[in-house]
Structure 1
């Protein structure tokens, strides 16, 4: 594998949500897309940068948020073309249009930095609302791919070993390996990091696709330690294994 490098804005633009969402729609949570007007996008960028713009978001954006959220009664998490609205490790759950507009009005250095990089290459952008899912920490994993080859699959949260993973390690590995094959075939870029979680039926669901770069978290791998395998932290005591059944099917 070539050394991981910092990524320019044009490369990040190739990972815009709209690009990977299309070919991978069937393995994502239910979602809605809202096209942003130039004025609404400018307001989002200004708020993210910590400014206090005088303008207000358009009535059309409020109406689009209301229509989308009406079809996602459990709530939604909101993603821009380059990143989610995560701040301090938390992603807001949106239940009303006011929730959405409030979230878009908050200072967010991560969003601001992403928008500065994307702006020259992606002048037209959309909002993406995904059905809200409560994701247990044990159920989240990262798939690392370079040159169209699987580098490895790692537990995402590294602070402990999870009994749920140890109890069904073979089942989880098989499901994630099957998912990785689909991702390698369908993601438009050959180098990427994909975050997934397992639903209550142990079916992988895609959270997001990001570039593979110097700042990418490699989980339980090191940059020269890839073996194409599945890694997780073994807990001190693991419960009995669960029965296995079929996995990710497209």
Structure 2
């Protein structure tokens, strides 16, 4: 399956991200999750209660590693399209909560499980150390053939006070330029979209959040997928709704 999925990250790349633990699902667990999730449930076989009971117990054991809770997702994507996800912020403290997040009517989870069924590939669940991430700290970095071609504010419809200030943009540029060689040296892919957490004010390390395929349907944020638009600038939204940009290359 996709090289961008968490289970395919090399150890060095994973070391740039949050502490995490992956659990590979059995086919019985895949069918049990898909059936309970309810979206296209007819595509999944009925399974015994023991399948989910066993998965819940495995998740309980794994979550002992994360006393502050963990972000729950598949290796490919998270179930962020449900009310439960919004209320719980995809955070689980025990196995039952983790299963609930993955089986609460998520179209995203249903799509991924069905895709894995068609490919005869058993997917993974990942638990990632919980961290509160201010939305203004998330950025999307576009890399094509090993070259950085743009960085955008992730929550691109919002204006964050001070993010478009010249000194803030200069600080962000320096942090991106410092992190980029480390990222490319450890990455197993040369063309992808890398989501980063860059704390405001230079406090704390730059952290890799996730990888996505380069191109549609991945959201290009403040760019477009036109090759001419990828001009190696950093882009953020201003208070007037316009786009502030600064060239990353010196």
TM-score by length of 2: 0.79
Give per-residue Cα distances to partners, 1:16-74, cap 9 Å, x unaligned: 21112633121111111222222112222333452284533344322221122222111
Partner of residue 23, structure 1? 12
Give the alignment of 1:118-157 within 5 angstroms.
118-121=116-119, 123-157=121-155
1:74 pairs, out of 57, 68, 71, with 68
Change (3 A) 1:136 1:71: same
Q: How far apart, CA to CA, are the structure 1 residues paired with 2:76 and 2:217?
A: 15
Structure 1 residue 144: Cα displacement: 0.8
Q: How far apart, CA to CA, are the structure 2 residues paired with 1:18 and 1:122?
A: 16
Partner of residue 48, structure 2? 55
Change (3 A) 1:131 1:188: same
Kindly indicate whether residue 114 of structure 2 is the aligned counterpart of residue 116 of structure 1: yes
1:86 pairs, out of 53, 72, 80, with 80
Structure 1 residue 202: Cα displacement: 4.0
Q: 1:45–1:115: 8 Å Cα contact kept in structure 2?
A: yes
Kindly indicate whether residue 230 of structure 2 is the aligned counterpart of residue 226 of structure 1: yes
Partner of residue 159, structure 1? 157
Which structure has more relative contact order (CA 8 Å, sep 6+)? It is 1
1:42 pairs, out of 12, 31, 43, with 31
Q: 2:102–2:109: 8 Å Cα contact kept in structure 1?
A: no
Q: How far apart, CA to CA, are the structure 2 residues paired with 1:169 and 1:46?
A: 47
Partner of residue 243, structure 1? none
As a proportion of its length, which structure holds more helix? 2
SS of residue matched to 1:111: helix
Structure 1 residue 100: Cα displacement: 0.9
Unaligned runs of 5+ in 2: 241-250
Structure 1 residue 114: Cα displacement: 2.4
Q: How far apart, CA to CA, are the structure 2 residues paired with 1:217 and 1:122?
A: 28
Structure 1 residue 157: Cα displacement: 0.9
TM-score by length of 1: 0.79
SS of residue matched to 1:84: coil
Q: How far apart, CA to CA, are the structure 2 residues paired with 1:34 and 1:158?
A: 33
Structure 1 residue 80: Cα displacement: 0.9
Change (3 A) 1:119 1:191: farther
Q: Which moved more, 1:42-51 or 1:93-102?
A: 42-51
Q: Which moved more, 1:154-163 or 1:88-97?
A: 88-97
Kindly indicate whether residue 208 of structure 2 is the aligned counterpart of residue 206 of structure 1: yes
